Amino acid sequence: MISFFTEKPLACWKGKDPYQGSVLDCLTVIFKTGGCSWNRCRMCGYRHERYPLMSPAELDTHLRAQMAWVQELYPSSGYQMVKIFTSGSFFDEEEIPVQTRRAILEGFRGKLVIAETRPEFVSRETVREARDLVDDGSWGCPLYVATGLETTSDFIREKCIDKGFTLQDFHDAVSEAREGGAGIKTYLMMKPLFLTEKEAMEDMQRSIVEAAPVSDMVSMNLCTVQNRTDVDYYWKRGMYRPPYLWSVLKVLAEAPVHILCDPVGGGHARGPHNCGSCDPEIVRGIREYSLSGDRDLLAALMDSACRCKEEWEFVLAGERPYCMPLTR
Ligand code: SF4
Ligand SMILES: [Zn+2]
């Protein structure tokens, strides 16, 4: 017998998220599932968090137990928005059986739901059904389909991330999701493997400009070094450094739209960081900006002085991609 005492999501927490000019209480849930069907992205540690192979019925039992745990510990009255992540894609029926998906969505009825998925699992029929299940009339748009596009460059997405889909696939999914009545949230990722600091910044700046017109929300994830990933392999050999917080500030300050950003792991060696002493204030500032959209705050932080700023400028000017030989 599985109970919610023994079965809980990979993670679940409450926070705040901005939405159309106000700030909502938001529940984030990362469900443990059958696992990501792609399972190859170079920076992704969640793909290891999966149940061993099991029948859809068993998977259903485990997932319903996780949902019961969420409902017991986080009463519905305590939040308005819910962000659903899995160790892959919420709309992948191999990962979450259809009946289970429906039950989870019904459990969040009345909430503003943001569900993450790879583009190949987005169809207008699936999205329409999901929207109808969560919609009780409280929200103009009760469902957002969220996708980790990461970058609008197909070359960088393929070589540096190994994401396994193209920009065109993303655009097709956006059309399907909109046909199904959902909004679009796009996740971009700052500084995948193999890019210099400057290349990473430019990639993010271009991606924001290109992704914003088709997205209702754009969120910038900052690459962190998760265990048992390619990023971890290279980081341990001194061949990868997570982004400077200075780069993050610059990108946010120059972006044409308000970009959401939670600098997870900020100030730590495995997360986006500067020198260590200026990090806490900047991390706090980025979180504040993400909620308020206050650009004066970004400008003030960007103007603040720290000895590591020169180092960052030196890196931007001097860092070169190093080429591996193509042949032996
Ligand atoms: S980032 Fe997403 S698509 Fe890529 S391996 Fe991880 S869960 Fe799968
Ligand atoms: Zn510093």
Q: Report pLDDT digits (tens) over 54-110.
A: 999 999 999 999 999 999 999 999 999 999 999 899 999 999 999 999 999 999 999
User: For the structural domain made of 11-243, what CATH number should be given?
Assistant: 3.20.20.70
Closest ligand 1 atom to the C-alpha of 39?
5
Tell me if 47 CB under 6 Å of ligand 1: yes
Task: Report how far residue 83's alpha carbon sits from residue 28's, in angstroms, rounded to the nearest whole number.
Answer: 5
Query: Probe ligand 1: pick from 36, 40, 187, max atoms within 8 Å of CB?
Result: 36
Phi then psi dihedrals of residue 30, to 5 deg = -115, 105
Q: Give the total residue count for the chain.
A: 328
159, two tokens: 């070589």
pLDDT at 25: 98
pTM of the predicted structure, to 2 decimals: 0.95
Task: Tell me if 40 CB under 6 Å of ligand 1.
Answer: yes
3 pLDDT higher than 70 = no
Tokens of 246: 């200075």
Cα of 273 from ligand 2 centre, angstroms: 9
Ligand nearest to the CA of 249: 2
As a whole number of angstroms, the distance between CA 140 and CA 168 comes to 28
Sign for the pseudo-dihedral over CA of 120, 52, 67, 61: positive
Residue for token pair 């603040």: 304
Contact status, residue 111 vs residue 80, Cβ threshold 8 Å:
yes
Give the start-to-end residue ranges of the domains of the chain.
11-243
Mean of per-residue pLDDT scores for the chain = 95
Sheet holding 143-150, edge to edge: 11-19, 22-31, 81-86, 112-116, 143-150, 183-190, 217-222
Q: Which atom of ligand 1 is nearest to the CA of 163?
A: 4
**Is residue 148 lining ligand 1, measured as CB closer than 6 Å?**
yes
- Nearest CA-CA partner of 213 in 149, 301, 269: 149
| Amino acid (one-letter) located at 182 | A
The predicted model gives 21-35 an average pLDDT of: 96
Higher pLDDT, 282 or 321: 282
What are the pLDDT digits (tens) for 126-161?
Answer: 999 999 999 999 999 999 999 999 999 999 999 999
